Amino acid sequence: MDESEFLQEYDPTAYEPLSVAVDLVLMTVVDGAPAALLVRRADHPHLGRWALPGGFVKPDESLDDAAHRVLATRAHMQGAWVEQLYSFGAVDRDPRMRIVSIAYFALLPAERFAAALTAAPELMLATIAVPWAGETGGPVEARGPDGAALPLAFDHADILGLAMLRLRGKLDYSAVAFALLPDLFTLRALQDVHEAILGTPLNKPAFRRRMLDRGWLEPTGKRETGASFRPAELFRHRTNV
Amino acid sequence: MDESEFLQEYDPTAYEPLSVAVDLVLMTVVDGAPAALLVRRADHPHLGRWALPGGFVKPDESLDDAAHRVLATRAHMQGAWVEQLYSFGAVDRDPRMRIVSIAYFALLPAERFAAALTAAPELMLATIAVPWAGETGGPVEARGPDGAALPLAFDHADILGLAMLRLRGKLDYSAVAFALLPDLFTLRALQDVHEAILGTPLNKPAFRRRMLDRGWLEPTGKRETGASFRPAELFRHRTNV
DNA sequence: GCAAAAGTGTTAATGCTACACCCATGT
DNA sequence: ACATGGGTGTAGCATTAACACTTTTGC
């Protein structure tokens, strides 16, 4: 029996299939605090609770494709930095049936959320409160604009917590911070993003020099407008390194 | 309709399910080089090629449970450091059908492979050759004991490559190196593991002090035996920090 | 005593922190 | 002129890299 004969006789149903979904941790930084996009559940289970935008993976699309589809159709956004985070597969994580969920995070600057939030009333941009420090990790809390805690659906508090931990870890050596900023940004804005994600204040001159020495920033010569004080220089992220 | 009524009427087949598997990158360090356990495929597709030990996830077991089951039944080992690596979900990664694979890595000291290798003739401990440097990543090559390149099945060269990249990244700030060593080990053995994974020589006094200052090592007062020169002190990994 | 590898001390370089200060802009 | 935040210089501290050196064992 050669390979093509084998494939013709092969019976895929011999192995019990599972449902596979992707969940998107779509994050940004607003007013010095990390935030994530949540969807109010309109159905059972966990009706009324807040969930990450997600969807089932179709047989003819890759995991990455599914993540981008969810970004476009559920979150009404595009052009995000998308990166796989972790896969969650506890047997009872969904009461309906067995679902394995591949969590992705997607990063965008805060301005990009405005259109989606007005277009889709079930969406909300929730502030993320991190109750742990350092490397420990664990679930986080989501808060509405009034500061009230939002009840989260399924294991999504854990997924959000892992996303925050990973974001903190990658901040120093990867370009994730730039995905949370517009094309042109000031060093102060970059520092604000770092401080929001790390949850600690940073020393201004040290941060400045570290960023400039790294060679990832391209000075544009342009300056910000509208400030009632000395306008800061605008930088761009240099992608070709 | 309340939640329990909803769940009774819910039809899981409304969403097309996929096959979900785990693949294990079971690694160690032998003679100063990284190595991984491979299985010679006895069936189509990719008959005769070398694959990572893997298996389908059952409906009543978590992803982590499946990884441990594969470790015991396919690799004939146990007690490894097991950690999720990444999920691979390209549509055509398996010619039989759509399979989403959750890759795990599992780490064990080299001595622990001997029994499994004699018990299961389809297994082989292959040396991993890393053709890239630094942060770039990419597929790696597997070589048999004679140095000949082994043809790898599916996308397993990519999975192995990602495992090497992740291992390099985690070496400095996590305890993965100790998972590759027996309970008692010398500082030289620890340095050999680091050098094998990083692929670069390290400065001896600097490495020594860095490790000791970190506080993760517990001196035992015992010394290695059988050396024809000054015996080195044996250390233990301190787990309670 | 000799070879081989363990283990230590000293110095130089580097990077980071903290603080003080100057600069440019709008009101 | 002044308030405000942008931007820079310098000194001190801690961490790391490099080299030379001493110590301990088996043969």
pLDDT at A240: 66
Residues listed for chain B: 241
Backbone torsions φ then ψ of B108, nearest 5 degrees:
-150, 150
| B216 assigned to some structural domain | yes
Name the closest residue on chain A to residue B66, using Cα atoms: A89
**Separation of B231 CA and D22 C1' (Å):** 16
Query: Residue B204 CB closer than 7 angstroms to strand C?
Result: yes
Q: Does residue A152 sit in the same domain as residue A211?
A: no
Q: Name the band, by pLDDT with cuts 50, 70 and 90, for residue A77.
A: very high
Candidate from B3, B17, B84 with C-beta closest to A47? B3
Nucleotides of D under 7 A from a protein CB: 3-10, 16-20, 23-27
Q: Do A45 and B3 touch (CB under 8 A)?
A: yes
Here the CATH number for the domain that contains residue B225 is 1.10.10.10
Q: Does residue B100 sit in the same domain as residue B120?
A: yes
Contacts of B202 (CB under 8 A, 6+ apart): B191, B194, B195
Provide residues 217-236 of B with CB closer than 7 Å to any strand C atom: 223, 227, 229-233
Please answer whether residues B5 and B89 qualify as being in contact, where contact means their C-beta atoms are separated by less than 8 angstroms. no
Q: Does residue A132 sit in the same domain as residue A188?
A: no
Domain that holds residue B137: 17-171
Check if A100 contacts B (Cβ < 8 Å): yes
Contacts of A101 (CB under 8 A, 6+ apart): A20, A21, A22, A23, A54, A87, A88, A89, A93, A159
Q: Does residue B151 sit in the same domain as residue B187?
A: no
What is the mean predicted confidence (pLDDT) over A22-46? 96
Handedness of CA A84, B60, B83, B163 (dihedral sign): negative
The radius of gyration of chain A from alpha carbons, rounded to an integer in Å, stands at 21
Name chain B contacts of A43, Cβ cutoff 8 Å: 6
Q: Which residues of chain B have pLDDT under 70?
A: 1-15, 240-241
Number of domains in chain A: 2
Residue with CA nearest to C20's C1' atom: A205
Please answer whether residues B234 and B220 qualify as being in contact, where contact means their C-beta atoms are separated by less than 8 angstroms. yes
Q: Which is more confidently placed, B3 or A159? A: A159
CA B200-B206-B211 angle, to 5 degrees, is 95
Q: Does residue B80 sit in the same domain as residue B186?
A: no
| A201 assigned to some structural domain | yes
Residue A6 has pLDDT above 80, yes or no: no
| B65 assigned to some structural domain | yes
**Separation of A222 CA and C16 C1' (Å):** 29
Which of A89-93, A176-180, A191-195, B7-11 bottoms out in mean pLDDT, i.e. has the lowest? B7-11
Counting beta carbons within 10 angstroms of the beta carbon of residue A25, is it exposed (0 to 12), middle (13 to 18) or buried (19 or more)? buried
Q: Name the band, by pLDDT with cuts 50, 70 and 90, for residue A195.
A: very high
Name chain A contacts of B89, Cβ cutoff 8 Å: 20, 57, 62-64, 66, 102
Mutate to test the interface with B, among A3, A20, A99 (most CBs of B within 10 A): A20
Contacts of B41 (CB under 8 A, 6+ apart): B47, B48, B49, B50, B51, B153
Instruction: Read off the pLDDT of residues B55-107 as tens digits, 9 standing for 90 and up.
Output: 999 999 999 999 999 999 999 999 999 999 999 999 999 999 999 999 999 99
Domain boundary at A150, A171, A192, which? A171
Q: Does residue A33 sit in the same domain as residue A134?
A: yes
Candidate from A3, A16, A95 with C-beta closest to B7? A95
Check if A170 contacts B (Cβ < 8 Å): no
DSSP B241: -
Q: Does residue A115 sit in the same domain as residue A212?
A: no
pLDDT at A119: 94
Name chain A contacts of B14, Cβ cutoff 8 Å: none
Distances (CA, A) of A67 to A20, A43, A137, B108: 12, 22, 24, 34
SS3 B107: strand
Q: Does residue B124 sit in the same domain as residue B206?
A: no
For residue A105, the one-letter residue type is F
SS3 A210: helix
Q: Does residue A37 sit in the same domain as residue A124?
A: yes
User: How many angstroms separate the CA of residue B120 from the nearest CA in chain A?
Assistant: 24
Please state the three-class secondary structure of A149-198 as a single string: EECECCCHHHHHHHHHHHHHHHHCCCCHHHHCCCCEECHHHHHHHHHHHH
Q: Does residue B117 sit in the same domain as residue B216?
A: no
Candidate from A60, A64, A89 with C-beta closest to B63? A89
**Separation of A52 CA and D5 C1' (Å):** 38
| A8 assigned to some structural domain | no
The residue behind tokens 């159709």 is A73
Q: Does residue A54 sit in the same domain as residue A150?
A: yes
To the nearest 10 degrees (0 to 180), the angle between helices B187-198 and B204-214 is 110
| B159 assigned to some structural domain | yes
| B24 assigned to some structural domain | yes
SS3 A75: coil
Here the CATH number for the domain that contains residue A166 is 3.90.79.10
pLDDT at B4: 55
User: How many angstroms separate the CA of residue A77 from the nearest CA in chain B?
Assistant: 23
User: How many angstroms separate the CA of residue A55 from the nearest CA in chain B?
Assistant: 10
pLDDT at B133: 87
For residue A212, the one-letter residue type is L
| A4 assigned to some structural domain | no
pLDDT at B97: 93
User: How many angstroms separate the CA of residue A91 from the nearest CA in chain B?
Assistant: 5
Please answer whether residues A129 and A143 qualify as being in contact, where contact means their C-beta atoms are separated by less than 8 angstroms. yes
Domain boundary at B131, B151, B171, which? B171
Q: Does residue A114 sit in the same domain as residue A202?
A: no
pLDDT at A14: 55
Q: Do A89 and B43 touch (CB under 8 A)?
A: no
| B129 assigned to some structural domain | yes
- The whole-angstrom separation of Cα B20 and Cα A17 is 7
The H-or-E segment that residue B5 falls in is helix B3-9
Please answer whether residues A236 and A218 qualify as being in contact, where contact means their C-beta atoms are separated by less than 8 angstroms. yes
Check if B98 contacts A (Cβ < 8 Å): yes
A188 closest-nt by C1' vs CA: D6
